[in-house]
Structure 1
Amino acid sequence: MFILAHRQARAGAELAIRGAPDGYVVTICEPTRTLDQNAKLWPMLSDVSKQVEWHGQKLTTDEWKDVFTAALRRQKAVPGLDGGFVVCGQSTSKMGKREFAQLIELIYAFGAERDVRWSEPVPEWLTQAAEVAA
């Protein structure tokens, strides 16, 4: 894997491509979420889990993560093998930085509508965006 951050990394990637056997695959993709983004997610989900009832039920942090990622990605739900439903494809570990930032914004917006008190400060960039939108 090469992070294309400078000329030397690009040269290394080019060298690896030229030396690769036929049939090998090269994938260029956006970097995945940062550790800081992931560390921000779980306290937010915990705050929502403690303070919000969803259709008469308290949900766990993992259940809230499923609710938010399904909303963000407009995912589909299919019938489960033994009843109930399963939401398909809801991994945050493979999300790019931009999509993960959208997930965090979605959770903040949801929390603002329900007067969630955040245990960690709201980032300045998000409060500025909210002020511009108002």
Structure 2
Amino acid sequence: MARTTSDIVIDAPADQIMAVIADFSAYPVWATGVKTADVVATADDDRARQVHFVLDAAPIRDEYDLAYVWDADRTVSWRLAEPGSMLTSMDGAYVLEPLDGARTRVTYQLSVDVSVPLLGMLKRKAEKVIIDTALKGLKKQVEAS
């Protein structure tokens, strides 16, 4: 499954960015289309291991669970643990790369499959829109705090 990738530079250290990524209860504030994000299970470090999402991002309206794997403040990856009615597969990751001073490059990788057939080009375009919107929302949320 090919991944769509994009990145952005955020004026904050990696730990501050990862704290925003890990705060799922705040996703409805900054993550476009996310209506709720409820932690179902946590790991030993108190970070989410599984999260239940309710998404309303036309044309996709769905509920699903994602399973997360954290690597300190360097990366977080996820996969679809409980499929929804539309989402049949989702694999993604945020990769954080510290730059000079307190800036960090955040790379978002995503691959999504849905139950309705989509041309590869349309699917990649949809993934790109999701990624770019998420990165801009993350940057705004982190830099506002």
**TM-score, normalised via structure 2 length:** 0.27
Instruction: Flag the structure with more relative contact order, 1 or 2, with Cα contacts below 8 A and sequence separation at least 6.
Output: 2
**TM-score, normalised via structure 1 length:** 0.28
Larger radius of gyration: 1
